[in-house]
């Protein structure tokens, strides 16, 4: 390997990148956008849901109970209703997502210790339905896509499990998701683009070696990957006070492992894809299972065994364990050696395959 040639290729890549506004925007924009989106989705915790109240009791007690519900901030009065039936209509029309019905015998029910207030929730909204599911005590005879529930305001707030959905848990994983999304795509496309534009035919007729070409094209993106990692970490710590309990060095080492794994995968894709569009399709073929199976969205333990086997093949799964361990539990990279090793093996296999499959030929 000739270092001057390697440098020439990297320099060329960086110069081209500087003129590629869309890719540049993706490099900075995706981490920022994702972090803010996920961060807000988390902080919202079902606030200001449009609601209507049908108070058929009209007692001081019922009015006070309704005031309590409104004061929780979870719901916001958007319409008034006279009967539960009107609430159902409003729900169906989509004008409210929560309906609160106070029956005429509110006071007696309260005394008897029976459910005194009905909270109807729009079940066609996943998040609201998930909330309703946790509240479930008994279903009422309502149209299919509605769930009717009886609860007090406090319990409505509590069905968001702060453990699972807090930024603290999301941000470390987000580093991995963003790196998986961008790194694979960037390299896969970067090489296929040169074939499409005809540059590759020129490049492979020069004395540049396969390894110089592959590594020279990939290294600039590794730097970009570390930059993205820094953006997410900085914003995560600053906006959401995400802790970094382990060593920062280990965090970057783990990120580097994931970056290299994804870059090698991107290279492998680039040797197979015939067009940029194909490269993109193949990238999503990897990206979707990564998002769904890596443990970022759904807990790994809850998945059926075949899904777990697939998950074990995905770099993001291993990174998810590494980064959560390091950042949240203060583990060292060495403690998590099985996952570090898995990533290292992945890199070695993918890179070898990619260099093997890449020929300085057109056929």
Query: Interface with other proteins by CB under 8 A: which residues?
Result: 2, 4-5, 7-9, 11-12, 15-16, 19-20, 197-199, 201-208, 360-363
Q: Rounded distance, CA 271 to CA 188, Å?
A: 8
Could you tell me which residues are beta bridge partners of residue 20? none
Dihedrals φ, ψ of 149, to 5°? -135, 155
Minimum separation from the CB atom of position 224 to other proteins (A): 17
String of b and e for 315-326 (b: at least 16 CB within 10 Å)?
Answer: bbbbbbbbbbbb
Minimum separation from the CB atom of position 213 to other proteins (A): 10
Asked if 253 and 223 touch (Cβ cutoff 8 Å), the reply is: no
Decide whether 59 or 209 has the Cβ nearer to other proteins.
209
- No. of H helices and E strands in the chain? 16, 5
Q: Rounded distance, CA 292 to CA 298, Å?
A: 7
Could you tell me which residues are beta bridge partners of residue 100? 53, 119
In terms of DSSP bridges, do strands 49-55 and 146-149 run parallel, antiparallel, or are they unpaired?
A: unpaired
Minimum separation from the CB atom of position 20 to other proteins (A): 7
Q: Rounded distance, CA 133 to CA 144, Å?
A: 14
Minimum separation from the CB atom of position 14 to other proteins (A): 11
Decide whether 109 or 360 has the Cβ nearer to other proteins.
360
Decide whether 13 or 250 has the Cβ nearer to other proteins.
13
Minimum separation from the CB atom of position 4 to other proteins (A): 6
Decide whether 153 or 216 has the Cβ nearer to other proteins.
216
CA distances to 97, 114, 242, 251 from 134, in Å: 17, 19, 27, 36
String of b and e for 109-123 (b: at least 16 CB within 10 Å)?
Answer: bbeeeebbbbbbbbb
Decide whether 122 or 194 has the Cβ nearer to other proteins.
194
Decide whether 141 or 205 has the Cβ nearer to other proteins.
205
Decide whether 195 or 270 has the Cβ nearer to other proteins.
195
Q: Rounded distance, CA 183 to CA 315, Å?
A: 12
Minimum separation from the CB atom of position 277 to other proteins (A): 19
Minimum separation from the CB atom of position 2 to other proteins (A): 7
Decide whether 8 or 253 has the Cβ nearer to other proteins.
8
Q: Rounded distance, CA 270 to CA 208, Å?
A: 18
Asked if 262 and 184 touch (Cβ cutoff 8 Å), the reply is: yes
Minimum separation from the CB atom of position 212 to other proteins (A): 9
| Residues whose CB falls within 8 Å of the CB of residue 44, separated by 6 or more in sequence, listed in order | none
Strand (E) or helix (H) holding 214: helix 210-240
Minimum separation from the CB atom of position 191 to other proteins (A): 14
Write the DSSP symbol of residue 184.
H
Closest among 71, 66, 68 to 81, alpha carbons compared = 66
Decide whether 20 or 125 has the Cβ nearer to other proteins.
20
């Amino acid at each position: 390997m000739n270092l001057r040639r390697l440098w020439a290729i990297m320099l060329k890549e960086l110069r081209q990148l500087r003129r590629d506004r869309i890719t540049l925007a993706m490099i900075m924009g995706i981490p920022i956008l994702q972090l803010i989106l996920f961060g807000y989705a988390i902080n919202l915790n079902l606030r200001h849901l449009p609601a209507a109240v049908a108070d058929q009791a009209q007692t001081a007690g019922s009015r006070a109970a309704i005031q309590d519900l409104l004061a929780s901030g979870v719901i916001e009065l958007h319409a008034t209703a006279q009967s539960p039936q009107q609430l159902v209509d409003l729900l169906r029309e989509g004008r409210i997502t929560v309906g609160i019905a106070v029956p005429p015998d509110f006071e007696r029910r309260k005394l008897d210790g029976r459910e005194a207030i009905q909270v109807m929730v729009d079940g066609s909204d996943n998040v609201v339905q998930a909330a309703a599911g946790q509240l479930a005590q008994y279903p009422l005879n309502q149209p299919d896509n509605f769930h009717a529930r009886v609860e007090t305001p406090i319990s409505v707030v509590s069905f968001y499990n702060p453990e699972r959905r807090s930024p603290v848990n999301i941000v470390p994983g987000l580093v991995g998701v963003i790196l998986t999304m961008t790194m694979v795509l960037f390299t896969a496309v970067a090489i296929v683009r040169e074939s499409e534009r005809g540059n590759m035919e020129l490049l492979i007729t020069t004395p540049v070696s396969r390894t110089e070409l592959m590594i020279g094209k990939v290294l600039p993106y590794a730097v970009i990957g570390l930059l993205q990692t820094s953006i997410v970490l900085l914003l995560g710590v600053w906006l959401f006070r995400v802790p970094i309990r382990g060593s920062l060095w280990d965090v970057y080492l783990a990120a580097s492992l994931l970056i290299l794994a994804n870059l090698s995968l991107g290279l492998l894709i680039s040797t197979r894809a015939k067009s940029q569009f194909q490269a993109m399709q193949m990238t999503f073929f990897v990206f979707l299972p990564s998002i769904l199976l890596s443990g970022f969205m759904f807990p790994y333990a809850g998945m059926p065994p075949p899904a777990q086997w697939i998950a074990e093949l995905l770099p993001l799964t291993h990174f998810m364990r590494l980064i959560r361990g390091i950042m949240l539990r203060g583990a060292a990279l060495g403690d998590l050696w099985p996952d570090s090793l898995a990533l290292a093996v992945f890199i070695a296999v993918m890179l070898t395959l990619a260099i093997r499959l890449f020929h300085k030929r057109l056929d």
